[in-house]
Structure 1
Amino acid sequence: MLPTKNVDSELKAWAIEQRRHFHMNPELSGQEYNTSAYVKEKLAEFGIPLDDRFSGPSVVAFFKGIEGNKTIALRADMDALPLQEEGDKPYISKVPGVMHGCGHDGHTAILLAAAKWMSNNPDLVKNNIRLIFQSSEEASPSGAQKLVKEGVLDGIDAIYGIHLISRMPMGKVGFATGYAMASCNDFDIKIEGKGGHGGYPHDTVDPIYIASHLIQAFQSVVSRNLHPLHAGVISFGGMQAGNSYNVIPHEVTLKGTIRALTFEAAELMHEKTAQLTESICASFGAKGHYQFIEGTPPLYNHPEACEFARGVIENTFGADAFLPIDPVLGAEDFSYYLKEKVGAFINVGMQSEKSQYPHHHPKFDIDEDAIPTAIELMIQLALQA
């Protein structure tokens, strides 16, 4: 465990109690109304006023600093996953088919604990702090995108978020500078051909055969159109066609995902997959219908914010605590905030026997010994900005 100047055993116990409450009472994306009500109740106890300009179930509050020359935003996500939890922990989910399988229960408790500390130490907080308890990180439409459109970043100088990570060693805190996480966009494709008898393929326009060409061609976007140093992935996750041995179907539907590590790569991959769908289908005499489903943009950690955050980490926990990491092709809607404002998204390690299962696994759990580190980090980001 890392040293935590401001997080004593009492605050740690309180935060764990809140985390277990959220874990036992998970709510899916866009449905976090009980969670929202609980967060509002706690903030009221702390005397921190709510900002009611923003639509629920997200909760936004404003802590006024003693100087108020800067306003720093801190964000936690609140939503759970559609998973049936497995295991025998005493705080297992009470909601069938819903569990906190990604650590958002911890994030919400951590930001609440930081808010509690601020309310108890108002003379130490010089900056204004906007506290963002965000709905719908795991689903589309994104809760972050909605809040940005509503103006949650107006007047903000910088924004920071954290994520407890089971694949990062306990006692390490870190991030990738620059492009850190990928965009995540999806697509639906319908290929309209001409069905017929499997013994007379010359009388048909076979959409299954055409789909095989399309699936292969999409990989050329990554290997032959994308800059070799710009990471990207195109994966097909679904294909529906006919259900008979000797009938060529009239149409095929495909679905998949496009992930890219830069804004330029994301745009290029979108354009090329749309072009290939139309041109390849047309070359075989079929019609290709391409529907692009916009998701999250790439997450870009601003270098100046990363430099500041690294200094906070090393000054607070020691030089050995910081761990630079490689970018990943996972996605996170914190990217919407960073597209508009300077900031950084920071990983807090919690790898241990208790946290041995990956995120989104039905046996996933938080090692609660990592919670004080994350609270201290939130406090120090607020104090030192």
Structure 2
Amino acid sequence: MNEKLYTLLDNSFDDMVSIRRHLHQHPEVSFHETNTAKYIQDFYKDLGVEYRSNVGENGVVARVEGSKPGKTVALRADFDALPIQDQKDVPYKSTVDGVMHACGHDGHTATLLQLAKAIHELKDELAGTYVFIHQHAEEYAPGGAISMIEDGCLEGVDVIFGTHLWSLMEPNTIQYVSGPIMAAADRIEITVQGAGGHGASPHQTKDAIVIASQLVTNFQQLVSRRVDPIQSAVLSIGSFVSDNAFNIIADQAVLQGTVRTFSPEIRDLMESEIQRIAKGTALMHDCEITVEYTRGYPAVVNHEKETAYLRDVAQEVPGVKAVIETIPQMGGEDFAYYLENVPGTFFFTGAQPENAFPHHHPKFDFDETSMLTAAKTLGAAALSYQN
């Protein structure tokens, strides 16, 4: 049966590329993916496949029932874009100013749509049920996964599989991790409220820029001196804003950044230590410092049994160059919520193009042949799971 699936997918590759490029030209940011959701709905409507729209807001969930009883397997793809200006010189460049698919979600969607079509064509020969979860708003917390789960997208599901096309990994490879594969992604915003004044009279002020600079420097010691070296953590300050004239000492500065961890204990430690350093710095300078620590997605933790199963299945998929145990990535992913509810695994499909740029880069692109590898691997995992 897998061979029949592979043939159908091979024959649909041109359509897969066409869908991907259409979506790439018409991107929509998180929680505003109205036209993208309609495109997905129309695809299933034309196939005659049962689907639900507006799942958890903009999500779409389609179901294909096999002719024989069996397990229920879910496959997931995200479809939101990013507020980034597309700088590629390609025919399928984004037509929306300031918005582009810079993370491969257009490819994820094209992959899952053509896989769903192939499984639908084979349904009379298949056992079990196949659930295709098209998720909105992966890029922006709280994300779309949690609301789709609350709206029932995992009801009756026995296992879930998902993949991410990865632009900096060798194309057409499958790379897996058992246990944590992507980090918890939290956000911090820190406001330093000092006392401004004339640049010529610093002794009469509480310089918010100096105080905030001390915070940035002291935060860098958290990972190196408070986190067990065997564990992992990242604290990055990405924004430091204090807008003043050249001769005025700032009364306020605002820092924004991100914290990435795998362990719940280290996540708690980072939050408490940031609060402690801020409190101590405020006491030292006799000023007010407020910390807003917002927990984003939890870590993506793959289930051991399902990960080993996926690894074994991928080794038999034609076109897969290698199946590699890789290292966890510090990027965040709300696929974590699915894995907190049902067994499953999330893996990377290498998709490095000739001129590779990292995810979220204005020139991001990927090797489109890797969509076929992703579709075959996900399809083989879904069909073989019935056995």
Q: Which residue of 1 aligns with 2:367?
A: 367
Do the aligned partners of 1:29 and 1:80 also contact (CA within 8 Å) in 2? yes
Query: Amino acid of the residue matched to residue 95 of structure 2?
Result: K
Q: Which residue of 1 aligns with 2:205?
A: 204
The residue correspondences of 1:20-39 to structure 2 (distance < 5 A) are 20-39=21-40
Q: Which residue of 1 aligns with 2:178?
A: 177
CA distance in 2, matches of 1:92, 1:240: 33
The residue correspondences of 1:1-385 to structure 2 (distance < 5 A) are 5-52=6-53, 54-241=55-242, 243-317=244-318, 321-353=322-354, 356-385=356-385
CA distance in 1, matches of 2:93, 2:353: 19
Deviation, 1:52, is 4.8
Deviation, 1:239, is 1.5
CA distance in 2, matches of 1:157, 1:73: 8
Stretches of structure 1 lacking an aligned partner (at least 5 in a row): none
User: 1:330-360: CA deviations, max 9, x gaps?
Assistant: 112212222332211111112231x523322
Is the partner of 2:383 in helix, strand or coil? helix
1:303–1:318 CA distance, 2 compared to 1 (3 A): farther
User: 1:249-294: CA deviations, max 9, x gaps?
Assistant: 2222111111112222222211221222123212321111111122
1:363–1:108 CA distance, 2 compared to 1 (3 A): same
Is the partner of 2:257 in helix, strand or coil? strand
Query: Amino acid of the residue matched to residue 67 of structure 2?
Result: I
CA distance in 1, matches of 2:212, 2:98: 35
Query: Amino acid of the residue matched to residue 378 of structure 1?
Result: L
Is the partner of 2:157 in helix, strand or coil? coil
Do the aligned partners of 1:198 and 1:247 also contact (CA within 8 Å) in 2? yes
CA distance in 1, matches of 2:295, 2:179: 22
1:120–1:318 CA distance, 2 compared to 1 (3 A): closer
CA RMSD of aligned residues (A): 2.1
Is the partner of 1:50 in helix, strand or coil? strand
1:96–1:210 CA distance, 2 compared to 1 (3 A): closer
CA distance in 2, matches of 1:10, 1:315: 19
Identity of aligned residues (%): 36
Q: Which stretch of structure 1 is more off in the superposition, 333-342 or 296-305? A: 333-342
Do the aligned partners of 2:185 and 2:260 also contact (CA within 8 Å) in 1? yes
Deviation, 1:189, is 0.9
Q: Which stretch of structure 1 is more off in the superposition, 276-285 or 313-322? A: 313-322
CA distance in 2, matches of 1:159, 1:66: 21
Deviation, 1:221, is 2.0
Deviation, 1:188, is 0.9
Deviation, 1:109, is 0.7
Query: Amino acid of the residue matched to residue 73 of structure 2?
Result: I
User: 1:49-73: CA deviations, max 9, x gaps?
Assistant: 1135723321012222334442111
1:362–1:379 CA distance, 2 compared to 1 (3 A): same
Q: Which stretch of structure 1 is more off in the superposition, 333-342 or 180-189? A: 333-342
Deviation, 1:132, is 0.6
User: 1:179-206: CA deviations, max 9, x gaps?
Assistant: 1111111111111222233444333333
1:206–1:96 CA distance, 2 compared to 1 (3 A): closer
User: 1:286-334: CA deviations, max 9, x gaps?
Assistant: 1111111222111111111110100110122489620111112111221
CA distance in 1, matches of 2:257, 2:240: 9
CA distance in 2, matches of 1:383, 1:316: 12
Deviation, 1:224, is 2.2
Is the partner of 1:6 in helix, strand or coil? helix
Query: Amino acid of the residue matched to residue 72 of structure 1?
Result: V
Is the partner of 1:372 in helix, strand or coil? helix
CA distance in 2, matches of 1:119, 1:319: 24
CA distance in 1, matches of 2:196, 2:37: 52
CA distance in 1, matches of 2:131, 2:202: 64
Q: How many residues align?
A: 382
TM-score, scaled to structure 2 = 0.92
CA distance in 1, matches of 2:172, 2:246: 57
Q: Which stretch of structure 1 is more off in the superposition, 4-13 or 34-43? A: 4-13
CA distance in 1, matches of 2:175, 2:344: 14
Do the aligned partners of 2:356 and 2:366 also contact (CA within 8 Å) in 1? no
Deviation, 1:241, is 2.4
Q: Which stretch of structure 1 is more off in the superposition, 228-237 or 91-100? A: 91-100
Query: Amino acid of the residue matched to residue 110 of structure 1?
Result: T
Is the partner of 1:316 in helix, strand or coil? coil
1:100–1:281 CA distance, 2 compared to 1 (3 A): same
Query: Amino acid of the residue matched to residue 293 of structure 1?
Result: T
